[in-house]
Amino acid sequence: MSQARFIYDSTEKNSDLYYATQFRAPDAFIFFEHRGKKYMVMNDLEIDRARKESCAHRVLSINGYVKRAEAAKEKPGQADVIHEILSERKIRSLEVPLSMSFALVDALRKRGYKIEAGPYPFYPERLEKDNEEKRNILVTQLTVFAAIGMARDAIADSKVKNRQLVLRGRPLTSDRLRTMINVFLLERGYVASDTIVSCGAHSIDPHDIGAGPLRPNEPIIVDVFPRSIKTLFYGDATRTFCKGRAPDALKKIYATVKEGQKLGLSMVREGINGRRIHEAILALFEKRGYSTGEKGGRMQGFFHGTGHGLGLDLHEEPVRITHRDYVLKKGNVISVEPGLYYKGIGGVRIEDIVFVTKTGCDVLGRFPKELEI
Amino acid sequence: MSQARFIYDSTEKNSDLYYATQFRAPDAFIFFEHRGKKYMVMNDLEIDRARKESCAHRVLSINGYVKRAEAAKEKPGQADVIHEILSERKIRSLEVPLSMSFALVDALRKRGYKIEAGPYPFYPERLEKDNEEKRNILVTQLTVFAAIGMARDAIADSKVKNRQLVLRGRPLTSDRLRTMINVFLLERGYVASDTIVSCGAHSIDPHDIGAGPLRPNEPIIVDVFPRSIKTLFYGDATRTFCKGRAPDALKKIYATVKEGQKLGLSMVREGINGRRIHEAILALFEKRGYSTGEKGGRMQGFFHGTGHGLGLDLHEEPVRITHRDYVLKKGNVISVEPGLYYKGIGGVRIEDIVFVTKTGCDVLGRFPKELEI
């Protein structure tokens, strides 16, 4: 009796599977690690590409196993085919991702397999980025800042007509600027679609991607988080701008968020609990007079996490740095992105990503933090 | 004791959840249907947007449930929070998607819940498109053909230098044409990144997205399958081109694939088993002298499915029309995309998508099927 680590998923939905195989496939396939070797079991469509592109030690054809399963049973299911593969190697016990389909686990248990959940993520080592992974994220992030720079220039170059921004004769709307950013990224090999360009009343909801005209004297949040087509690593950054003079209340929350982000960045280092960073920023905001909670029927203040891990997933452990214990390690890449959101004033968020070191952190890429443009 | 349908997932990974809620969220949330009403349970970050944008009957805050779970137990898990929500409504039995995390199912079962797998997809009615869904797919598909037309023109307008295509003074590579297509789509509100532009030896692997220079007198497969940012519906189409004269062997497989696709399209109607269509095309190819199987160490011939369902997912039931029983229904939208791939000759694939009717099918969008340009 022998144990294996096992994944059945598509690389699009499961970054651990991509991490393990370095192979991209739109459809689910079988992967397992047994006695230090990696196996993929592929259909006719993917087998040759898997042999060429993946880093598996062996790429097996699924055809023989399907035939054997069909010989053993009418209308065999996925578990029956998997049984043919595993029984050949006397594997009776599997460590699988937490996310694995319960229907498949039920069927395998019925066939006598012992199934246990592995860690989350399934390859925890991918949370501690090595130099190459750090560089891949940095390269994405430099393009993120180039895109934010382009967006900043578009806002700066706009004219104001009837309290709306107009660029080269046409209204500069949230949608138009979002498309400009997304096209800029795609031309350079990065995919983004839900880029946030939210102005005024839209900006008080952190996940509102924005709609309608951009206006002067109101906050414009630009939050850009594309994925590299080549490396599959994400970048993520946010800046908040204001075309023309900002109202005093907006200037004040901008300065406070900037101070909160600086505090957060100064606290990041190996060994710190993320919760402490989050609570320190919340306390600073309270001290400056900015409280958090439900007011006037909606959440106001600082009601999202201080940040999240990112890499091959946009949100990976720590998926939310908030009132939850999570001790940072060297090599973690996390965002530090406090924000304040108030009805009547608008929203402000400033976000950078950092690589955690023993004594502090390296901020990946640089871009000015200035409200008025 | 009462039953509910239950999903815990993100709408990005679970189109059924988007279908049920009409809400888009990057992170997982709790959804259930109970006594004919839809509920979402959201954190502070998403609750206001969910109330505004979703079609749920009630959007609940998760905070109270987390507090109760924390009062009942130190370090409560997801299942403990879910228990607080369900016990309030005396729900003891859940129907969940096949794909639900086994770790969460195990934890809920431990708490006494009866959990059963629902159908796949969880909302089977989304496989039978209504008029609005059909129109949404058609609108995407029209843009797919516009992009293919642009790509065709780029190939046609290219000059040939040293057996390579050159457009406006620069080599027209797979990567450059792919980016041109993806940018064209994004400017119109559609996201694609893995668009296939594969030439020559690359074209014999159906999932090779292509690399390097495009060359004359060789097949160039252009397979475009973007998603609408607005409606989230996919389109999908493939054409194969050849710049300049095509070798006779290539012309012959092109004519055969075209004949096979025509046969497939003529067979589609409500009530037919997809397997019959696939096997009829395979038989036609055999009759024309084009066999399928492993030759010279790789798969050759027609070794992928004839098509797949599509809608809010790029591959949905029937996820592969091949030697598997699947009876088509009115309202299914499927691709019909036979291909032939031979070492030395190259690959040819022609793909359209169709809406299945009682007596046949409506092909969505039109684009010429001509090899040489």
Topology (CATH level 3) of domain B128-363: Creatine Amidinohydrolase (3.90.230)
pLDDT tens, residue by residue, A34-64: 999 999 999 999 999 999 999 999 999 999 9
Q: How far is it, in rounded angstroms, from Cα A361 to Cα A370?
A: 22
Q: What's the first-to-final CA gap in chain B, in angstroms?
A: 67
Q: Which of A14, A18, A177, A207 to mutate to test the interface with B (most CBs of B within 10 A)?
A: A207
pLDDT at site A229: 95
pLDDT at site A336: 98
From the list A46, A102, A183, the residue facing B186 with the nearest CB is A183
Tell me the CATH architecture of domain A127-363.
Answer: Alpha-Beta Complex (3.90)
**Does the beta carbon of A211 lie under 8 angstroms from any beta carbon of chain B?**
no
Residues of B in contact with A188 (CB under 8 A): none
Q: How far is it, in rounded angstroms, from Cα A212 to Cα A283?
A: 35
Beta strands across the sheet bearing B307-309: B316-321, B307-309, B333-336, B352-356, B361-363
Helix spans in chain A (H): 15-21, 44-53, 63-72, 78-87, 102-110, 131-157, 174-187, 248-267, 274-287
Asked if B238 contacts B350 with a C-beta cutoff of 8 angstroms, the reply is yes
pLDDT tens, residue by residue, A330-345: 999 999 999 999 999 9
pLDDT value at A297 more than 80: yes
Residues of B in contact with A47 (CB under 8 A): 299
CB contact (8 A) between residue A48 and residue B304: no
| Mean pLDDT, residues A294-313 taken together | 95
pLDDT tens, residue by residue, A233-291: 999 999 999 999 999 999 999 999 999 999 999 999 999 999 999 999 999 999 999 99
pLDDT at site B86: 98
pLDDT tens, residue by residue, A126-178: 999 999 999 999 999 999 999 999 999 999 999 999 999 999 999 999 999 99
- B173: closest CA of chain A, how far (Å): 14
pLDDT at site A26: 85
Tokens representing residue B36 in the block: 């004919």
Using a pLDDT cut of 70, give the percent of chain A over it: 100
Strand A91-96 and strand A2-9: pairing? parallel
* Cα B343 to Cα B147, B249, B339, distances in angstroms: 28, 11, 14
Question: Domains of chain B: which residue ranges?
Answer: 2-122, 128-363
- Pick one of 3.10.20.90, 3.40.350.10, 3.40.640.10, 3.40.190.10 as the CATH number of B2-122: 3.40.350.10
> Which ipTM score applies to this complex?
0.93
Q: Which of A13, A102, A323 to mutate to test the interface with B (most CBs of B within 10 A)?
A: A102
- A16: closest CA of chain B, how far (Å): 15
pLDDT tens, residue by residue, B311-345: 999 999 999 999 999 999 999 999 999 999 999 99
Closest CA to B365 of B229, B260, B178, B239: B239
Q: How far is it, in rounded angstroms, from Cα A158 to Cα B351?
A: 44
Q: Which residues contact A33 (CB under 8 A, 6 or more apart)?
A: A4, A5, A6, A20, A39
Q: Which residues contact B326 (CB under 8 A, 6 or more apart)?
A: B273, B274, B275, B317, B318
Q: How far is it, in rounded angstroms, from Cα A119 to Cα A28?
A: 21
pLDDT value at A195 more than 80: yes
**Does the beta carbon of A315 lie under 8 angstroms from any beta carbon of chain B?**
yes
Q: How far is it, in rounded angstroms, from Cα B148 to Cα B225?
A: 11
Would you say the pTM of this structure is higher than 0.80? yes
Q: Which residues contact B75 (CB under 8 A, 6 or more apart)?
A: none
Closest CA to B18 of B49, B44, B52, B56: B56
Given a cut of 50, the residues of chain B with pLDDT beneath it are: none
From the list A27, A103, A207, the residue facing B45 with the nearest CB is A207
**Does the beta carbon of A47 lie under 8 angstroms from any beta carbon of chain B?**
yes
Which residue matches tokens 């976000």? A351
Q: How far is it, in rounded angstroms, from Cα A338 to Cα A236?
A: 14
